[in-house]
Amino acid sequence: MGELSWNNEDIDTLIIIGFAENDPEKATVPWALANMELARGKKVQVALMFEGTMSVIPGIADNIVQGPPFDGPLLPRITSFMEKGGVVNCCMPCLKGRVAKGRVKEPVQLLDGVGRCNGFHILEMKDKAKTVLQFT
């Protein structure tokens, strides 16, 4: 599954996302807010848990489309967020559960730049964040 490589810096806003293909609206809106927070000059990290971990498997976010007012697939919102300095961390125990169910094949590949974390790290991120938004 790869080594853990989460980012341990201070955070203005932590956004926890637990949705992907299972609910395109709840997968898309948090990324829109994450990008808005970056535009406001905030340090933002996203922690992907549960089904949300699937959104950073290459090829998955290309097929998550909410529709108006969010035109296009989810992937450009994720890549734009990271290109603008946003940090994305994927809960590897959550993803491992999807491997066990045969939904993801090993070795697990993530989008370039996505960190790997676990529950302890997510709690650390929560402690370092001034604000936490949760979509789970």
Question: 31-43: per-residue pLDDT in tens?
Answer: 999 999 999 999 9
The pLDDT of residue 7 is above 90: no
Give the pLDDT of residue 5: 61
For residue 21, give the H/E element and its range: none
Question: 84-135: per-residue pLDDT in tens?
Answer: 999 999 999 999 989 888 888 888 899 999 999 999 999 999 999 999 999 9
Q: Please answer whether residues 37 and 44 qualify as being in contact, where contact means their C-beta atoms are separated by less than 8 angstroms.
A: yes
Dihedral angle of Cα 74, 78, 81, 84, to the nearest 10 degrees = -110
The pLDDT of residue 49 is above 90: yes
